[in-house]
Structure 1
Amino acid sequence: MQKFIFVILILAVLLFGHSPSTTLAKEDAAQKRKALYLKTAAITHIPWYYLAAIDQYERNVRFSRSTLPDPKGLQGIYVEPRRWVGALNPNSKTSNPTLITLFNGFGKDGDGDGKADQDNPEDVLYAMAAYLMPYGVTEDDLKIALWNYYHQDKSVAIILEFAHMFKHFNTTDLSGHAFPIPRNYRTDYQATWGDRRGWGGIRIHEGTDLFAHYGTPVRATSYGVVELIGWNEYGGWRIGIRDPQNIYHYYAHLNGYAKGIKKDTIVRPGQIIGYVGSSGYGPKGTQGKFPPHLHYGMYKYNGITEYSFDPYPHLRAWQRQR
């Protein structure tokens, strides 16, 4: 019997890329985080999905910067210790909320235990909500508050996209993926990220080319929000989608878009977003300068810059799952 269970677990890992216990652990963590967002929202009247979006953004940024604390637990938001207690506070490690308030520190007591503990997810989330509250609870109010906190338009825009996704799906557990070409359509591709490209100047190829027939459906590989759509002289008719992990998915050389796909559209894995073509390498409408294919790129934003990375290993994993 134990051997049979072991075989089932191995098959699950091979088919789905992770064990059932890992999936359950992720779902449990997502549920605990949402419970924390809902509790803080009830106290502060800041909608839970904005709190979740800030927390997720911070989690993504921390994951990209190995010098910051481990982002895998409940707590995503990170506040510099000196800012937490107050810049002029003589006691840099205090958790006394009265003393912290006296020195205009960021820290708050969220769970009512008499401490403003920077390692307590409830205290940290409540402290962020307390920062937002004076600005108001509408999206325009929160947009101002977030800009004053991050001083980056891109950070604010990404957080709002996350909030829209979480509100739309009513969950923060949006980690599924799909291969961009449906199972019953033929496609060929190789690891081409980093190859040399010459049109428009010497540059590297920031993606993987999936060759397929004209009109082959192209699917969203993740949950996300359409950030960009339209013509680009390099990519032709292209779509850019931001997912909840701060990854920007770039689909280029399309022949057209699926009905209803436009800027700010929220998509799910496997949803048809467009069709394979050969557009690009010229002014708007240029077609046929190369064989039809989907150029698929992945970019990560770490809070400072956005950088390309090789999508090929991800494509191979998603293809095995479809």
Structure 2
Amino acid sequence: MYKDPSGLLIGHYTPTSVILAEVAHLSSSFDHKYKDDANGKDSSIKLMAKQIIDTVTVQSALGHSQKEILNFTNNGIYSAQKGIYTDVVQIDTHSQLPTFMYYLGLMDKKHEQLFLRKKEIENMPDYKSDPKLIEEREAIKLELNIYCSTNDTGEGRYVNRLAAMYSGMNFIFDSMHYWGLSNVLNCVNDGYILQIKDDGDFNKQYQDFKQQWQSEFPLLTFSKKHWKYAIINGTQDYILINNSNDYKCRSSQLSTKAFYHQATGKSLDKLKQSEIDNDAFKYAQEKEKVAMMTLYNNLFSSMEPSLYGSYGKLENLNETKEILDKAGVTEANFLPVK
């Protein structure tokens, strides 16, 4: 990636429209708000419409079977293809904003030292088994996220972050081209979900991918996880699942966040840790677990004969059979179907 004189990291595939938006948004003289005469309130200025990939990059006609749409926003880059998919991988970029702030020279000395300390902890063997190191790393991570924010309203931990946002967005856009845009099922700011065809080929590609980017940014790190199934309803509305106990739920209706809001009328994203109702939170977590077990058993387990049904279902069948035996019902037409 190229660092221009204004301090922006521009990638090989970065659209010109994004560069122009970066220059405007990161200028101290640019006013992000305007007075909306219709309602008399301040509204946020959006400089870019959604980008249709075929108009942003030059590719062969066979490169895209459909026109992919990516939404470049003030808060990142987003894209989603709705559907149910098999054999996917989620790739996440660790501490994307702090990393690019560090490489752009935007950090003060205090936070630069914190960033390097966090990387030092993460490189320690078995640090995840040391509670003190885990606690220290989490504290640094939170401090860096707040420091990278230019819009910390105090309404909880999750806020829009603009510092180094565009450089991170340009990195994500360039890295997605490595995999092929048509293979990207979902992109959320600092990570994306890919559909893959062969695990062996992918693992080799992934090692090449890491080597390529870490040769340019040595402190840039990634993680990946394979999933059997993905249900994608939107950029921030999806479920990844391997079985009823191994899943990642970001569903707007079936997640812990959704059930907590349903129970309390409050958003977890806007609550500080001390404001969270622990009983309601445990209730919401349990609801999510039950929802994921039900979803998996009914939607996917039939694809895997060895996992068909569940222990609970078999117990119910045995109990039903015992009741029928006691009642003297022995004809096949009355027996439960397995």
**Do both share a fold (TM > 0.5)?**
no
Higher relative contact order (CA 8 A, sep 6+): 2
TM-score (structure 1 length as normaliser):
0.22
Q: Higher helix fraction: Structure 1 or Structure 2?
A: 2
